[in-house]
Amino acid sequence: MENDSRKITIKDVAKLCGLSKGTVDRVLHNRGEVSKESRRRVLEVIQRIGYKPNINASLLASKKHYTLLCLIPQFAPGEYWELIYTGINRAMEKARDYNIGIEVIFYDQFDRESFRQAARRLLDRNPQAVMLAPIFGEDALDLTSTLSARDVPYVYIDSKLEEDGYLAYFGMPMYQSGYLAASLLVDQPDVREVANFRFDRGGDRPQDNPTSCRREGFMAYVAEKFPECRLHEDFLKPYDPEYNVRVLDAFFERHPDVRHIVTFNSRAHLISEYLEKRGISDRVLVGFDKLARNLDGLRKGSVKFLITQRAEAQVYRGITAIIEYMVFHTAPAERDNFMSMDILTKYNVDYYTDNYEF
């Protein structure tokens, strides 16, 4: 049983085939130079006696060393992409055991040209595998088609592009997450008005922005279940607190009856901190992503629900998929992996630890 199966070595296979270890190894790794007949026999025997290669021995003997390059937005401490970076760091330890080195190339998520440059640098490095967050769709497509041509496997995280060359994708179902947010916010009596605060991303085409999928999901839910509910919108700036206070003051003066608020980007804390500052406690705010400042809002009661994804888990699994592809030549069970949307409240936030391994 169990125990025995572990003891079957490549030598056993060779003997049973009447061939040598070398030949068996060749078919194991599709390294060619093997006659059709030998190949058949080897595969048959492997199948029959249930041979499983010893990964430890394989890794030890292998001289191969791979480089995996990750292409993600740069970040300031506490911002969303820091979570992703954390996940990458975690995955490095694992990758090392497989002779895979991981390096990160950053770009400015608000600057398309910086993405292009980063992509060029990436290609110059000639990586054996790539993981990327394709914020600028068109340019990302240029990159990935080159990778495809070079036969370099790549996985998308966070969002993905509509093409067919990627090894896997790990991310949150954006549309559904908006739908979920709506159910949490408006699924109760007396919600006739909802406020949404957004960023104006300037020249961005909206469809390039994953958060607009969220918005669509949200609107769909409202239209479906509470068609009479009105949605108000206003625009904030990510890095201009004083401006935001003015906008919010003006908004709530104009709309004193709006009690329900939603944000689709990761900065719900812009609102929650405003509410705290103004001593407003009768608003219900739903937001996204487990930034420290958002979690704080949860604890203080100024955020009611936070919908989060296990961002570290996403990249960790993304990298795991690549490793398994490179080491075992196996594709992931699912190509598109929509990861769980977790609902955080004041009462479970403190038990929501990062769980890379799960």
Partner DNA sequence: CTGAAAGCGCTAACAC
Partner DNA sequence: GTGTTAGCGCTTTCAG
18 binds DNA (CB under 7 A): yes
CB of 129 to a copy of itself, least distance (A): 17
Q: Which residues contact 79 (CB under 8 A, 6 or more apart)?
A: 266, 291
64 binds DNA, rule: CB under 7 A: yes
Under the criterion CB under 7 A, does residue 34 sit at the interface with DNA? yes
Please, what is the minimum distance in Å from the beta carbon of residue 61 to DNA? 3
Strand 168-171 vs strand 154-158: parallel, antiparallel, or unpaired?
Answer: parallel
Our finding on whether 15 is near DNA (CB under 7 A) is: no
CB nearer to a copy of itself: give 239 or 347.
347
Measured between alpha carbons, how far is residue 106 from residues 135, 225, 266, 337 in Å?
12, 42, 19, 24
Tell me how far, at minimum, the Cβ of 328 lies from DNA, in Å.
10
- Of 19-27, 137-145, 157-165, 311-319, the window that binds DNA (rule: CB under 7 A) is 19-27
Alpha-carbon span 263 to 297, nearest angstrom: 13
Three-state SS at 91: helix
35/345 with CB nearer a copy of itself: 345
User: How many chain residues interact with DNA (CB under 7 A)?
Assistant: 31
34's contact among a copy of itself, DNA, none, with CB below 5 to 8 A by partner kind, is DNA
* Residue 200, both tokens: 């104006």
Return the number of other C-beta atoms located less than 10 Å from residue 173's C-beta. Answer: 18
Asked if residue 61 binds DNA (CB under 7 A), the reply is yes
**Closer CB to DNA, 26 or 283, in the complex:** 26
Nearer to DNA, 29 or 48 (CB): 29
For 307-323, give the DSSP string: EEE-HHHHHHHHHHHHH
Q: Please name which of 306, 299, 310 lies closest in space to residue 276, comparing C-alpha atoms.
A: 299
Q: What is the contact surface with a copy of itself in residues (CB under 8 A)?
A: 2-3, 6, 54-57, 59-60, 65, 96-97, 99, 101, 173, 176, 179-180, 183-184, 188, 310, 312-313, 316-317, 320, 337-343, 345-348, 351-353, 355-358
Question: Among a copy of itself, DNA, none, what does residue 257 contact (CB within 5–8 Å per kind)?
Answer: none
Residue 23 is a binding residue for DNA (CB under 7 A):
yes
Yes or no: say if 116 and 141 are a contact pair by the CB < 8 Å rule.
no
128 DSSP assignment? S
Q: Which is nearer to a copy of itself, 225 or 278 (CB)?
A: 225
Q: How far apart are alpha carbons 215 and 179 in whole angstroms? A: 8
Phi, psi for residue 62 in degrees, rounded to 5 = -70, 140
Name every residue whose Cβ is closer than 8 Å to that of residue 138 and which is 6 or more positions away in sequence.
Answer: none
Q: Give the interface with DNA as residue ranges (CB under 7 A).
A: 7, 9-11, 18-23, 25-26, 28-29, 32-39, 53-54, 57-58, 60-64
